[in-house]
Structure 1
Amino acid sequence: MPCPILRYALKPVVIMGLLVTASAGQAADGSGKFSIRGPGSQSCAAYLAAAGKPEDNARYASWLLGYASARNRTEPNTYDFIPTEAGTDFPNIVAAICKSNGKASVEQAAHSAITALAPMRQASASPLVEVQADGKAVKIHQEALRTLQTALIAKRAFSGRADGLASALLVAALKEFQRKESIPVTGLPDIDTFIRAVIKR
């Protein structure tokens, strides 16, 4: 389970204390306890150990994406917590959190990931925009791209407008920002870049 976020983007976020390793979340009974079903009840250590086992890894990833979908449904004013295409981004963020506390449950780590991603949440559905750079492309919701552009403008890293549109100016700004942040220079609005631009202060 490759996790570039652990080495590049998430480390400063952990240091800043934005990622908690355990939380009761929404209480299901009077004492704050609730039942966790499926792979989410397993320890972070078990989740990390599954990285080299494709079938087990797929089972955890499926549970985590279902968890993220459920949180999207139940949180107010939320279309999606994850600004990029789902894929492996959310499972990788959970893996990065799990590395700091192997005894926590996968559900606790997933809750921490949602808490950390809250500043990047999309409040409503928006069209997909394709951003291309160096022969690669990603599709991202226009609202999420606008959030990233706004953050880059605030950091004086982008001189364009926060219009949620792809452009050569945006790709160049992303590359320069990524170089300055010492993260992979892709020119794409990837999760590493979102974390550095939107969460990191």
Structure 2
Amino acid sequence: MPLSSQIGNSMSVCLARHALLSIALAGSACLGAGAAQAADANGSFAIRGIGSQTCATYVAALAKPEEFTRYGNWLLGYATAHNRLVPDAYDIIPTEPGVDFPNVVAVVCRSNPQMLLENAASSAVTAIRPLRQTAASPLVQVSADGKTVSIHQDSLKRLQAALIARQIFKGAANGAPSAAFTDALKAFQRSERIAVTGLPDIDTFIRAIVKR
């Protein structure tokens, strides 16, 4: 499925979830930390391409798949550059980045319409840094109720460990999907009042690891 279709199909659902709404606040608060890495002595640097447009423009593009593809691809390039240049960050997103990273940036943008898209992307990266995977690990497929997502195995282990610590999951943090883990995920999602998918989505990671 093309990137624009993947993101377009999930965007309206993801943007409504309370777990992602917290990212807007965290991202805004962390903006200064991202700017501190700028190139010149005054903390300024040139922003090229789509990143120089405002968040309001990005939000308006969400309803136009033919336009949004350009934004989504730019944001995936941004995430890739972060993974390449920042130490201790094999992958900033523990789940499917083609859908989730643009969604998180969109939440930041909806709360900060005049912010530049590059700044919003930087804020989103800082806010979800606790979710990053520090080293490569295999992708595993996790399925529930007819839907399947790909996730790094080490990230799945972290999520399992978080649910074990909360005494919700009784199994092992081994990075292997199971019916018991799906049931535990649903129970946790239900308790957090987010979408009950039984899948290790970005909302669940934020609730279980970032907002402890």
TM over 0.5: yes
- Structure (1/2) with the larger helix percentage: 2
Q: How far apart, CA to CA, are the structure 1 residues paired with 2:127 and 2:51?
A: 18
The answer to whether the Cα contact below 8 Å between 1:119 and 1:199 also exists between their aligned partners in 2 is: yes
Q: Which residue of 13, 20, 34 maps to 1:10? A: 20
The Cα offsets for residues 64-95 of structure 1, whole Å up to 9 and x where unpaired, read as 00000000011111110101112221111101
Alignment partner, residue 28 of structure 2: 20
Q: Which residue of 40, 63, 70 maps to 1:59? A: 70
Q: How far apart, CA to CA, are the structure 2 residues paired with 1:123 and 1:111?
A: 18
> Within the alignment, does 1:122 sit opposite 2:130 as a pair?
no
Name stretches of at least 5 consecutive residues in structure 1 with no aligned partner.
none
The answer to whether the Cα contact below 8 Å between 1:13 and 1:199 also exists between their aligned partners in 2 is: no
| Per-residue deviation, 1:25 | 4.1
Q: What is the Cα-based RMSD across aligned positions, in Å?
A: 1.5
**TM-aligned CA distance change 1:67 to 1:130, over 3 Å:** same
Q: TM-score, normalised by structure 1?
A: 0.93
The answer to whether the Cα contact below 8 Å between 1:142 and 1:164 also exists between their aligned partners in 2 is: yes
Within-5 A mapping of 1:43-58: 43-58=54-69
| Partner AA of 2:68 in structure 1 | N
Identical residues among aligned pairs (%): 56
The answer to whether the Cα contact below 8 Å between 2:59 and 2:106 also exists between their aligned partners in 1 is: yes
> Within the alignment, does 1:166 sit opposite 2:164 as a pair?
no
The Cα offsets for residues 30-63 of structure 1, whole Å up to 9 and x where unpaired, read as 0000111110110001111111222221111110
| Per-residue deviation, 1:5 | 3.4
**TM-aligned CA distance change 1:76 to 1:3, over 3 Å:** farther
| Partner AA of 1:82 in structure 2 | I
Alignment partner, residue 112 of structure 1: 123
**TM-aligned CA distance change 1:13 to 1:50, over 3 Å:** closer
| Per-residue deviation, 1:6 | 3.1
Q: How far apart, CA to CA, are the structure 2 residues paired with 1:101 and 1:33?
A: 20
The answer to whether the Cα contact below 8 Å between 2:23 and 2:124 also exists between their aligned partners in 1 is: no
Q: TM-score, normalised by structure 2?
A: 0.89
Q: How far apart, CA to CA, are the structure 1 residues paired with 2:27 and 2:65?
A: 27
| Partner AA of 2:41 in structure 1 | G
> Within the alignment, does 1:103 sit opposite 2:114 as a pair?
yes
The answer to whether the Cα contact below 8 Å between 1:149 and 1:158 also exists between their aligned partners in 2 is: yes
| Per-residue deviation, 1:177 | 0.7
> Within the alignment, does 1:151 sit opposite 2:162 as a pair?
yes
Q: How far apart, CA to CA, are the structure 1 residues paired with 2:122 and 2:84?
A: 14
